[in-house]
Amino acid sequence: MLQRLYQRVLALSASRHAPVWLAIISFAESSFFPIPPDALLVPMALARPDRAWRFATICTVASVVGGVLGYLIGYALFDVIATPLLHAYHYEAAFERFKQTYAEYGLWVILVKGLTPIPYKIVTIASGAASFSFPVFVAASIVTRGARFFLLATLLHFYGDRVRTFIERRLTLVTTAIAAGIVGGFLVLRFL
């Protein structure tokens, strides 16, 4: 069953509409969608290694634009949703400490977490909620998301055939490792 699903995703990733879906998923993942764009980027780059950097560019641009939406969600909706809760639980002082800490270390949070499997939407929304510098947020997002997607695209461009062979021989292991990485990202986030 996994083999058929893999072949179907690989075929879909080579379709002419795949870049549009890649952009949509990259945008949505940075603000509200739970599935990372790697799920489509990897098979697309495997199907067309000659276009791997184009796909990385699509991921980067759409992810940063989606990150802007996540920032706006944190910035605009935080007051409507979270402020009454903070007031009800008397957490206003704790949130002010969080904002001060984020103001001091926010750039590093964005740079580090943008490269990891920890959901980037958490970073984007937290950046807006903390009123982190918007230009610095955008610049750091471009650097970190670009680094992540271009590193992956470069590896797939140069080693795509070997990666494809490895995946096809060990599909269950690969899907298990990806699922463990996603779950691990959520667990790390929960304990931070």
The three-point CA angle 112-175-145 to 5° equals 25
Residues belonging to the chain:
192
Give CA–CA dist 78/80, Å, rounded.
5
pLDDT of residue 69: 92
Residue ranges of domains in the chain: 2-191
pLDDT of residue 179: 60
Find all residues with CB under 8 Å of 123, minimum gap 6, and list them.
Answer: 67, 70, 109, 110, 113, 114
pLDDT of residue 39: 78
**Per-10-residue mean pLDDT, the chain, length 192:** 61 81 90 80 86 95 95 87 73 77 81 72 85 93 91 85 67 61 58 54
pLDDT of residue 60: 96
pLDDT of residue 19: 93
User: In Å, how far are 42, 48, 132, 134 from 103, measured between CA atoms?
Assistant: 35, 41, 6, 12
Q: Residue written as tokens 């957490």?
A: 91
pLDDT of residue 112: 77
Give CA–CA dist 72/29, Å, rounded.
15
pLDDT of residue 31: 83
Give CA–CA dist 79/99, Å, rounded.
14
